[in-house]
A and B are shown apart, each in its own frame.
Chain A
Amino acid sequence: MYKTKEKIIEFILKTTALITVLTTIGIIWVLLNESIIFFKEVSIIDFLTDTQWTPLFANKHFGILPLISGTLLTTIIAISVSLPIGLTIAIYLSEYAPKKLKKIIKPLLEILAAVPTVVYGFFALMVVTPFLQKLIPEMAGFNSLSAGIVMGIMIIPFISSLSEDALSAVPKYLREASYGMGATRLQTSFKVMVPAASSGIIVSVILAFSRAIGETMIVAIAAGQQPRLTLNPFVPVETITAYIVQVSLGDVQHDSLEYRTICAAGMILFILTFILNNISFWIRKKFREEYE
C-alpha cells in the first residue's frame, strides 16, 4: 500500500514540475501563433528592413528596426554604466575588501535589484532628466540617456555578484603565485584574476544585457514612445517593451493587426533574450569543465 501511495505522490510532484515545461510551450505557441498570422499580412522583409514603425497611424509601416535600435541604445547605455562599476565592485570585494565589509556590502547591493522598476522610472523621469537637462540644454524631456543610466544602476548587482562569484572561483594558487612574483593586488587583479575569470565575467555581462533588453517600466516611463531609428541619446525613442505597454494601455481588439504587432514584437524580444541566455549557459558550462 505504501508503494502505491509513494508512486502517486511522485507522480503529483512530477506533474507540478512539468508545469514549467507547459509554460515554455505556452509562450512559444502564443507568440508563434499570432506572429504567423501577422506575417501573412505584413511581409517579413518589410518587417526586418523598413525603417519606420507606425502601426497605430493611418499610414502604416511595420519596420521593427526603430524598436530594435531603441532597445539596443538604452541597453548599451545601461551596460556602459553598470559594467565598469559592477566589475570594480567585484574586484574590490574579492581582492581588497575585508570579510566583514563584504558581508555588509553584498546584501546592500541586492537592494538595488529589489526596488520595483516603476520606481526607477520615476527617478529617471523626475530626477535624472531634469538634472541632465541643466548640463545638456538640447536634451528632450524623454530620452534614452537617463533611462539607460538608471537602468544601468539597477543592473549593477547582476554584474557585480556574478563577476565576484567568477573571481572567487579562480584557484587560489594563481593569486598566490602572482603575489609571490612581487605583484601588487591591482596588478594581480587585472593581469591574473580578471583574465582567469573572464568567461564568468562575460556571462555576467550577457545576462545583464538580456535583463536590460527585457526591462520595461523604466524605458516606458522615461525614454518616450516615439519609434525612431537613431543613435542620438538625447531624443525620445521607443523600445520593444515600451511599444507593447503602449498598445496594451489602449483598447485593442483581439483579432486586430495592432494586437498582432505586439506578439510579433514580443517574438523578437523573446528570441533575443533566449539566444543571449543560452549563450551564457553554454559559456558557463564550458568554463566549469575547465576548472574541474
Chain B
Amino acid sequence: MNNGYKNRLKDSIFKYIGVFACFIGLILLAILIGNILYDGFNRIDWSFLTSLPSRKAEKAGILTAWSGSLWIIIFTFIIAVPIGISAGVYLEEYNRKNQLTRILEINISNLAGVPSIIYGLLGLEIFVRYSNLGSSVLAGSFTLALLILPIIIVATREALKAVPASIRVASYGLGATKWQTTLYQVLPAASGGILTGVILAISRALGETAPLIVVGALAYVPFTPTGPMDEFTVLPIQIFNWVSRPQHEFSINAAAAIIILLLITFTMNGIAVYFRNKWQKKINW
C-alpha cells in the first residue's frame, strides 16, 4: 500500500466520520423525543390540559402552567418587540458612527452573552422589589423582555442591513424624510427578517426556566392568572417541578408536559424558518 492510497483511504473514512458527526446529535435528540413520547403520550388527554396542579400525579394537569406561559409570552412580546425593533432601527439606520454607537454595540454583544439566570437576579431586585411588582406576570415579563432584547435587536439589524441602499435613495429622491423612508420603505422591506427574529426570540422566552424561578414564579399556583399582577407558573417550571420529584408518576406527567412544550417550540421554529426562506427568496432584488 503506497502513501497516496493510504491518504485517499483516510480521506474517504473521514467523510463518513463527518456524516456520522452531523447526525449523532440529531440521533440522540430523536432518542430523547422517542423516549418522551413513549413515556408521556398516553398521559395527554383533555383533562391533563384543563386540570389544576395536584399532589396526586394522576389528577394533576397543566392548566395553570400553559395559561401562565401564555400570559408571560403576550406581555414579553408587548414589551420587548417595540423596544427591540426601535433600538435596532436606531443602530442601523441612524448610526452616526460615534463613540455612543460603539458603546451600544459592544454592550449588546455582551448582554447577549450574559447567562439567563443573571437576568433573573436583575429582575428580582429591580422589578419584584424596587418596582413593587411582586412575583407577578408583569415582573416575569419585564425580566424575559430584557433577556430577549439583544436577540431582537441583532435580528432587526441583520434584516435592515439586507435592504439595498437603492430603496432608501429612491425614497429620499422623492422627497421623503429619514423617518418616512424608514417607516414606509425600509421596515416593510425588512419585515420578513424581523419577523423571523421575533418568533425565535419569543420561542426562546417560552422555554426559559431559570430566570423565572429566580424572579419567584412558583411551581404550585392553584389558579390561573386573571391579570398582569397575579402570581404565575409556566410550563418549563411545572416540568422542572415534576422532574425533581422521585415518584415515577410525576416523571410521566413531566414527559407529557414536555411533549406540549416541544410541540409549541418546534412549531414556532418551523414558522420562523418558513418566513426566513420565503423572505430570502423575495429579497434577491
Task: Quote the shortest CB–CB distance from B132 to chain A (angstroms).
Answer: 12
List residues of chain B with CB within 8 A of the CB of A24: 107, 110-111
Of B47-55, B56-64, B122-130, the stretch lying at the interface with chain A is: B122-130
B258 part of interface (Cβ distance < 8 Å): yes
How many residues of chain B are within 8 Å of chain A by beta carbon?
Answer: 84
Partner of A115, one of B19, B146, B239, B262: B262
How many residues of chain A are within 8 Å of chain B by beta carbon?
Answer: 85
Task: Quote the shortest CB–CB distance from B186 to chain A (angstroms).
Answer: 13
Is B265 a contact partner of A248 (Cβ separation < 8 A)? no
Is A241 a contact partner of B210 (Cβ separation < 8 A)? yes
List residues of chain B with CB within 8 A of the CB of A16: 82-83, 86-87, 90
Give per-residue flags for A274-289: 1 if the beta carbon is below 8 A from chain B beta carbons, else 0: 1011100100000000
List residues of chain B with CB within 8 A of the CB of A109: 22, 25-26
Of B4-12, B70-78, B163-171, B225-233, the stretch lying at the interface with chain A is: B4-12
Is A111 a contact partner of B29 (Cβ separation < 8 A)? yes
Q: A153-B28, A263-B121 are in contact. Are A184 and B11 (CB under 8 A)?
A: yes
Is B243 a contact partner of A114 (Cβ separation < 8 A)? no
Q: A121-B240, A245-B213, A249-B213 are in contact. Are A184 and B10 (CB under 8 A)?
A: yes
List residues of chain B with CB within 8 A of the CB of A138: none
Of A26-34, A60-68, A230-238, the stretch lying at the interface with chain B is: A26-34
B2 part of interface (Cβ distance < 8 Å): no
Of A36-44, A47-55, A87-95, A167-175, the stretch lying at the interface with chain B is: A87-95
Is A270 a contact partner of B214 (Cβ separation < 8 A)? no
Partner of B87, one of A19, A91, A123, A262: A19
Is A245 a contact partner of B117 (Cβ separation < 8 A)? yes
A105 part of interface (Cβ distance < 8 Å): yes
List residues of chain B with CB within 8 A of the CB of A5: 177, 179
**A 82-102 contacts with B by CB, 8 A:** 84-85, 88-89, 91-93, 96-97
Secondary structure at the A interface, as helix, strand, loop or mixed, is helix
Q: A92-B21, A122-B254, A125-B243 are in contact. Are A269 and B115 (CB under 8 A)?
A: yes
Is A119 a contact partner of B149 (Cβ separation < 8 A)? no
List residues of chain A with CB within 8 A of the CB of B219: 249
B244 part of interface (Cβ distance < 8 Å): yes
List residues of chain B with CB within 8 A of the CB of A187: 7, 11
B36 part of interface (Cβ distance < 8 Å): yes
Partner of B111, one of A23, A88, A122, A221: A23
List residues of chain B with CB within 8 A of the CB of A181: none
List residues of chain B with CB within 8 A of the CB of A56: none
Is A117 a contact partner of B209 (Cβ separation < 8 A)? yes
Partner of B117, one of A17, A207, A269: A269
Give Cα distance in the complex from A215 to B213, angstroms.
Answer: 14
Is A118 a contact partner of B118 (Cβ separation < 8 A)? no
List residues of chain B with CB within 8 A of the CB of A105: 22
List residues of chain B with CB within 8 A of the CB of A12: 86
Q: A23-B149, A30-B126, A186-B10 are in contact. Are A13 and B240 (CB under 8 A)?
A: no
**CB closest residue in chain B, given A225:** B244
List residues of chain B with CB within 8 A of the CB of A110: 269
Q: A213-B115, A214-B115, A221-B240 are in contact. Are A89 and B86 (CB under 8 A)?
A: no
Give Cα distance in the complex from A223 to B220, angstroms.
Answer: 24
List residues of chain B with CB within 8 A of the CB of A125: 243
List residues of chain A with CB within 8 A of the CB of B89: 13
List residues of chain A with CB within 8 A of the CB of B141: none
Is A20 a contact partner of B113 (Cβ separation < 8 A)? no
Q: Identify the interface centre among B90, B91, B121, B239: most chain A CB within 10 Å of its CB.
A: B121
Task: Quote the shortest CB–CB distance from A167 to chain B (angstroms).
Answer: 13
Is B122 a contact partner of A30 (Cβ separation < 8 A)? yes
**CB closest residue in chain B, given A269:** B115
Give Cα distance in the complex from A15 to B72, angstroms.
Answer: 25
B116 part of interface (Cβ distance < 8 Å): yes
Give per-residue flags for A159-188: 1 if the beta carbon is below 8 A from chain B beta carbons, else 0: 000000000000000000000000011110
List residues of chain A with CB within 8 A of the CB of B90: 10, 13-14, 16-17
Partner of B83, one of A6, A19, A220: A19
Which 5 pairs, one residue from A and one from B, show the smallest C-beta to C-beta distance? A214-B115, A92-B18, A116-B207, A13-B90, A216-B210
Not counting A14-B94, A117-B207, A244-B210, a sample of 10 additional A-B residue pairs whose C-beta atoms are within 8 angstroms of each other reads A6-B179, A34-B125, A92-B21, A110-B269, A116-B208, A125-B243, A186-B7, A186-B10, A186-B14, A263-B121
30 example contacts (A-B, Cβ-Cβ < 8 A) are as follows A13-B89, A16-B83, A16-B90, A19-B149, A20-B87, A20-B107, A20-B153, A23-B122, A23-B149, A24-B111, A27-B114, A27-B118, A27-B119, A85-B25, A97-B22, A110-B269, A116-B209, A117-B209, A118-B209, A118-B240, A118-B243, A119-B262, A120-B32, A126-B35, A184-B11, A216-B117, A244-B210, A248-B214, A266-B117, A277-B109
